Chain A
């Protein structure tokens, strides 16, 4: 029972990272109708930036994290402007190939700057040691122990899950309540009609890339705090998994990306714990295939309803 609970928590934490990455995929897909396969590598750049800031420039972790967000936001806007915008009218295959090209460019660029060796990512989260509720909860060594020391939650896990919750709430409010968020929904539904309302479509697409890339930076830092091995290909696998999560939840749907990401993380951890340590990924992808067979639009994919 405790082991199941602990597996679920681990899955929730991993799934939170997938969800944050998947949000970037799904938002860009929803607005620009393209799969930005370089998204995973923006994660890696974000992680390297905060790594460099903290270890080389001795910046406090929180500032290193904010710097990574800033750099990735700019990077996302620049990538869109230089690589994807000129292809707005091109076939989707051309855009896809460009995205894969950008992905390699970022990986090789990172290798050039930081080298191919793996780097140990620094600790970002430090919890104070404490004993609460007469010893039923103790915090030491950056780990919270509950239920008489049987259930352990690391500070990283806690921060990851909290960050994911904050991002989900903030993004949902932004999309549904703000003028810019509503403009994004319009562009995603009908670019021409959005233009007729006076919405600047190019600016909206830039904004989407900016938000997606800032989220990628957050995901990169969170991922590397939990799995502190950093190398130029760090973003590739989580990127693919988050893309899977976005499809799983229904690509283009923001709640879908959240649910898809979290479920994928939990399924992967359950598979690792109860089926086979090596087959966690295979298990997760098998579930994806089954879901898509039953519901091709994904869990929360939009049905296009038309009425004449």
Chain B
């Protein structure tokens, strides 16, 4: 049974037809990745699923319920969390306050325990608990963004370019975190330009090109597919 099902959605920015009939699904317990070049429509797709953009047509269902007219603020309590492109942590708030905001939809008395859990998983954040988030390094900011998204206890975690702008060693760390979260039972929808890394952790993958899905299949199959290797893996 698929947790998220996106069926033939079309999204426009004004007159620009950005997403031209995209369909995919994410099953409970999977890591699914959308790979593709800059401007292929990956982020637009994710933002549409999260409710920040409205599809002009098509259907999005989460856990069997239609999502089309659900505003972004309500999708969180349904069990979805988007860790957006560029991290978008609250720069002027402390690390702890950022995490508190991540738990905004949860009962107030459960939040401190969840923050402690995040601090256990991300000890660096614990060290920087009272620091203003804008002063963190890029890698720390990405950890904070992921931890903040996890604060809502999502069933589906959507990560938009988590490795963007990070040094290789940090990219590795971020992918280790993704594996850990998956092992802990979180279903993950991952968008990446780093196709190699994304395909290595994912179960299944979709390739996006200029607003369409052009290829799909098990991640290790795509990892060894010649077209994919040529276009996205630099072979």
Interface residues of A (CB under 8 A from B): 179, 182-183, 185-186, 189-190, 192-201, 302, 305-308
Bound-state CA distance A185–B138 (Å) is: 22
Q: Are B76 and A196 in contact (CB under 8 A)?
A: yes
Asked whether any CB of chain A lies closer than 8 Å to the CB of B108, the reply is: yes
Top 9 closest pairs, chain A to chain B, by CB: A198-B76, A198-B105, A193-B88, A195-B72, A197-B104, A198-B104, A197-B101, A195-B73, A305-B134
A59 CB to nearest B CB, Å: 38
Q: Which residues of A contact B148 (CB under 8 A)?
A: 197
Q: Tell me the residues in window 137-179 of chain B with beta carbons closer than 8 Å to chain A beta carbons.
A: 137-138, 141, 148-149, 152, 165
Q: Are A199 and B93 in contact (CB under 8 A)?
A: no
Q: Are A189 and B91 in contact (CB under 8 A)?
A: yes
A256 CB to nearest B CB, Å: 13
Q: Are B138 and A183 in contact (CB under 8 A)?
A: no
| Selected interface stretch from B18-26, B77-85, B185-193 | B77-85
Q: Which residues of A contact B93 (CB under 8 A)?
A: 182, 185-186, 189
22 A-B residue pairings within 8 Å (CB atoms): A183-B101, A189-B90, A190-B88, A193-B90, A195-B51, A195-B71, A196-B50, A196-B52, A196-B76, A197-B76, A197-B101, A197-B152, A198-B74, A198-B77, A198-B152, A199-B101, A201-B73, A302-B92, A305-B91, A307-B135, A307-B136, A307-B138
Contact of B102 (CB < 8 Å), options: A192, A197, A200, A307: A197
A197 CB to nearest B CB, Å: 5
Q: Which residues of B contact A183 (CB under 8 A)?
A: 101, 104
Q: Are A182 and B52 in contact (CB under 8 A)?
A: no
Q: Are A308 and B72 in contact (CB under 8 A)?
A: no
Bound-state CA distance A46–B210 (Å) is: 56
Bound-state CA distance A65–B135 (Å) is: 44
B76 CB to nearest A CB, Å: 4
Known: A193-B90, A196-B84. A307 touches B101 (CB 8 A): no
Q: Which residues of A contact B102 (CB under 8 A)?
A: 197
Q: Are A195 and B105 in contact (CB under 8 A)?
A: no
Smallest CB gap from B151: residue in A: A197
A29 CB to nearest B CB, Å: 15
Bound-state CA distance A65–B231 (Å) is: 70
Asked whether any CB of chain A lies closer than 8 Å to the CB of B97, the reply is: yes
Q: Are B97 and A182 in contact (CB under 8 A)?
A: yes
Smallest CB gap from B100: residue in A: A182
Q: Which residues of A contact B97 (CB under 8 A)?
A: 182
Q: Which residues of A contact B50 (CB under 8 A)?
A: 196
Q: Which residues of A contact B108 (CB under 8 A)?
A: 179
Bound-state CA distance A186–B101 (Å) is: 8
A191 CB to nearest B CB, Å: 10
Q: Are A192 and B88 in contact (CB under 8 A)?
A: yes
Smallest CB gap from A195: residue in B: B72
Q: Are B81 and A196 in contact (CB under 8 A)?
A: yes
Q: Are B104 and A199 in contact (CB under 8 A)?
A: yes
Bound-state CA distance A190–B148 (Å) is: 15
B150 CB to nearest A CB, Å: 12
Contact of A307 (CB < 8 Å), options: B76, B104, B141: B141
Bound-state CA distance A194–B89 (Å) is: 9
Residue with the greatest number of chain A CB neighbours at <10 A, chosen from B89, B91, B105: B91
Q: Are A185 and B90 in contact (CB under 8 A)?
A: yes
Bound-state CA distance A195–B84 (Å) is: 11
Bound-state CA distance A182–B148 (Å) is: 15
Smallest CB gap from A189: residue in B: B90
Contact of A196 (CB < 8 Å), options: B82, B91, B135, B141: B82
Q: Which residues of A contact B92 (CB under 8 A)?
A: 185, 189, 302
